[in-house]
Structure 1
C-alpha cells in the first residue's frame, strides 16, 4: 500500500473516530448535566424538608417520643437508647443559654451526617434536636449509581451511533477519494499515448528545423517545446506509478528479487551525460556480491533514479556525489550524498510531501513524494538529513531478501519518454 493511500485511509479512520468521540462526548455531557441538575434539585428539596422538620421538632417535639430519625436532648430529659454517640453538643447548649439565640450546624460522625439545631423553647427550656441524614445520603448515592449506569449505556449507544454515523458521513469522502484515484489512473493512461506522439513529433520538427537552417529563435522554441512535453510525460509516469502503488495491499505479480547493487550502477550509468555536463564526480561504493530485495524493478529503478537525479540537480559544477550500498541488520541501505546547498533540517520531513515548495525551490512536483510511496510500498523507509551549505544525504532502507536470486536488471522500456532536457529543481528536493 502506498503512503498516500495509507494516509487517505488513515484520514477516513480518523474522521470516523472523531465523529464517534464527539457523539460520546455529547451524550456524556448530557448525562452529566442531567445528573447534576437532578442531584442539586434533590439535595435542596431534601435539605429544606429536613430543616423544616428539625426546627419543628426542636420547638414543639415530644422529648419522650421525637419524630423518626430525630433525637431531642434537654436538661432533665432521658435520651432514647438508640441515640448516636457524641450528642448533645455541649458547646451549642452553653452558647444558646448565654445568647438565647438558636444555633444550627452540620456534624459528620460514623460515616454519616447529622443536622443539629439548638434553641430556646417558648417555655424557656433549652432543647437540642439532632437529625440523621443516613437515608437521604443513601438516596443520593442511588441516584448517582443510576446515573452511572445510564452513562455506561449512553456510551455504548454513543459508540454504536458514532460508528453508524461515521460510516454514513465519511463514506462519501472515501468514495470521492477512490474516484479521484481512479480518475488519475484513467486520465494518465488515456493521455500517455497522445503525449508520447506529441513528444515524438516535436522531436522530428526540432531536427528538421536544425537541418533546414531555420532561424535560431524558432529552433529554441521547438527545443523548449520538446522539453515541456518531455516533462509532461514524466509527470504522467509519476501519476501512473503512484496509482499502481495505491491499488491495494498484497504482493503484486511483478514482484521478484532485484539486485539493488546492479540496479543502482545501471541508473548511475544512465545519468552519465548529465554528470559530464555538470562536471560532477560520482562515486559508487558497494559490495561485489548482489544485495537482493523483493520488489517491482521498474518502481525501484524510478526511486533510485529520483535520488540520483535530485543529487545531480542540486550539486554545483565540480561537486561530488557519493552513492553507497551496504547490508545492515537484515536490510539493504542505499545512501546518496551530495555537496550541494543542503537544506534546513526543519524541512527534512516536508521534502517528501506532494507539491511542497521549499525556500529556494523553483518548481514543485511529485518526485520525492513518489519516492517515499515506492519505498513504503516495499516495506522500507527513507530519510533525509542536511544543513544549509553542507550538502544533503538521503538514505533508503529496504528489507533484504536473502533467499532471492536476483535477475539481471532490465533496461528501461524504449517507449518511455527520454530525458533530453535536464529536469528543473522540484520543490522541497535537495
Structure 2
C-alpha cells in the first residue's frame, strides 16, 4: 500500500505543478497584455503632449525663456548655456529657409531622444524647437519596471494559489483512483481462491463425466463451464497485473535482462494443449543467438501469452500461427502472425481498448489493453495489422538489452 500511496502522491504533485504553471502563465499573459495596453496609451498620450508643446514653442516660445525641456534656435539668437550638443540641425534650418515648409524629425543622441521641429513663424523668422524626451522615456521604463514587479509577485502568488487549489481539486480524484485500485486488487485476491476451487472442481467433474460416459449435453455443459471459469481466472490475472503496474513504481527496480526467445518458446509450450485441441500448427522462428530485453519476465511472459492466446482464439481449426523473433535496428521484435478471421484495418488501434468488440462480434477483452500497458511500461511499442478477409499480425518492439552479467567467483575452488 505504501507504493500505491507514493504513486498517488506523485500524481497529485504533477497535477498541482501543472495547475500552478498554467495559472502562472495566465497571470503573466494578463500582466503582459495590460502592460502593453498601458504602454501604448501612455506613449500615445505623451507623444501628443510633447508635439503640442513642441509646436507651441516653435510658434510662440520666447527665444530667451523657452518652455521646460525645450530649446529654441533662430538667427541672431544666442543659444542657452545648457543647450544639448549637436544642435541646431543646420540642414533643417537651411531647408525651411529655402522651401518655407515645416520639417520635423527625431534625433537619438546621448542616451535620449530629441524631437526637432523647424518652421517659419508668423513674423517670418525661421525657428527650430528641440524637445528632450528623457523624462517621458524614464516614465515608460518605470511603468515596465512596475509591471514587471507586479507580474513577478502575481506569478508567485498564482503559483502558490494554484498549488493549494490544485491539491484540493486533485486530491479527491487521486483518492478515488487509489480506492479503485485497492478495490480491484483486493477483490481479485479475494476471488482468486474460490475461483481456483471452482475451476479445479469443474475440471474433476468434466473428467468424471467423460469417464462415466454421461450424456453428451452434460459433458458439453461441463466443458463450457471449465472454459468460462478459466477465462474468469485469466481476467483476474489481468486485473492484478494491471493494478500492480499502475500502483507500484518500484517494480521498475525488479527489471533485469530477459532472454525473449526462451520465454516465447516456453509460452508456446504452455499453450500446446489448446493448440492441439484446436488442431492448430504453431511455429516459432528465432535466431540461433539469444535476444535480451530489459524487463520483468512474468509481465513479458503474460504479454506474449496474450498475443498467442488471442491468435488461438481467432484462428479456426487447421490454421497456422507463426511466432517470429528478430533483432531490428537495436531493438527486439516479436511478431505473431495467424491465419484467423482477421479484422478491419480501421480497427487496429481500437483493438487495444479495454473490452473492445470487433465488427464481427468478437471480443478482445482486457488482455490486449493490458498487453499495450506492459509493453509501453517496458519502453516499447505494439502494433496490429490485419485484413477483413483473414489473417492478423501483431508486432511487439522492445529495446534490446545486454545479457545479464555472470558473477565471477573469487574464492577458492
Shorter-chain TM-score range: 0.7 to 0.9
Instruction: Report the Cα distance in structure 1 between the residues aligned to 2:386 and 2:216, rounded to whole angstroms.
Output: 46
Q: CA deviation at 1:239?
A: 0.8
Task: Write out per-residue CA displacement over residues 334-388 of structure 1, whole angstroms, 9 at most, x where no aligned residue.
Answer: 44333445556675555444344455462142212223444455x4634335342
Question: What is the match of residue 115 of structure 2?
Answer: 114
Look up the SS of the partner of 1:337 in the other structure.
strand
Moved more, 187-196 or 314-323: 314-323
Which stretch of structure 1 is more off in the superposition, 171-180 or 154-163? Answer: 154-163
CA distance in 1, matches of 2:153, 2:192: 57
Q: Identify the residue that residue 134 of structure 2 maps to in structure 1.
A: 134
Please give the secondary structure, in 2, of the residue aligned with 1:188. Answer: helix
1:100 counterpart residue number: none
Is residue 258–residue 294 contact of structure 1 (8 Å, CA) maintained in 2? yes
Instruction: Judge which range, 275-284 or 331-340, deviates more.
Output: 331-340
- 1:273-284, aligned counterparts within 5 Å? 273-284=273-284
CA distance in 1, matches of 2:231, 2:153: 60
Find the counterpart in structure 1 of residue 245 from structure 2.
Answer: 245
1:293-341 deviations in Å (ceiling 9; x for gaps): 7765544432232121122233344432222346789876544333445
Residues 356/118 of structure 1: CA separation in 2 closer, same or farther (3 Å cut) = farther
Distance 1:148-1:257 versus aligned 2 partners, 3 A rule: closer
* Cα pair 1:257 1:404 within 8 Å, conserved: no
Kept after mapping to 2: 8 A contact 1:332/1:400: no
2:89 match: 86
User: Which residue of structure 1 aligns with residue 405 of structure 2?
Assistant: 403
Aligned equivalent of 1:423: none
- 1:131, CA displacement in angstroms? 1.9
Q: Structure 2: how far apart are the matches of 1:308 and 1:89? A: 94
Alpha-carbon distance, 1:116 to partner: 2.2
Aligned to 2:193: 193
Structure 1 partner of 2:53: 53
Distance of 1:223 and 1:293 partners within structure 2: 39
Structure 1's 316 and 261: CA in aligned 2 closer, same or farther, altered over 3 A? same
State the match for 1:227 in structure 2: 227
The residue number in structure 2 matching 1:169 is: 169
Bigger mean CA offset, 5-14 vs 88-97:
5-14
User: Residue 246 of structure 1 aligns to a residue in which SS?
Assistant: helix
Q: Name the residue aligned to 2:383.
A: 384
The DSSP-based 3-state class of the residue aligned with 2:190 is helix
SS of 1:250's equivalent?
helix
Residue in 1 aligned with 2:411?
A: none
For residue 234 of structure 1, report the CA deviation from its aligned partner. Answer: 1.8
Q: Deviations over 1:187-241 (max 9, x none)?
A: 111222333344455556767877585684x765555444333322221121122
- What TM-score do you get using the length of structure 2 for normalisation? 0.75
Q: Secondary structure at the match of 1:64?
A: coil
For the 8 Å contact 2:386–2:393, the answer to whether it is kept is: yes
Q: CA contact under 8 A between 1:27 and 1:158: conserved in structure 2? A: yes
Paired position in structure 1 for 2:302:
302
Alpha-carbon distance in 2 for matches of 1:65, 1:315: 104
Distance 1:170 1:392, change over 3 A: same
**What is the TM-score of this pair, normalised by structure 1?**
0.72
Partners of 1:313 and 1:267 lie apart in 2 by 15
Q: 1:400 to 1:8 in 2, by over 3 A?
A: farther
Query: Relative contact order, CA 8 A, sep 6+: which one is greater?
Result: 1
Q: Does the 8 Å contact 1:326/1:332 carry over to 2? A: yes
- Indicate how the Cα distance of structure 1 residues 393 and 243 shifts in structure 2: closer, same or farther if over 3 A, else same: closer
Decide whether aligned partners of structure 1 residues 369 and 10 sit closer, same or farther in structure 2, where only a CA change above 3 A counts.
Answer: farther
Structure 2 stretches lacking a partner, 5+ long: 408-413
Q: Report the Cα distance in structure 1 between the residues aligned to 2:391 and 2:202, rounded to whole angstroms.
A: 40
The alignment partner of 2:283 has SS state of strand
In the alignment, the residues of structure 1 paired with residue 139 and residue 275 of structure 2 have an alpha-carbon distance, to the nearest angstrom, of 86
**Offset of 1:24 from its aligned partner?**
1.4
Alpha-carbon shift at residue 78 of structure 1 (Å): 4.3
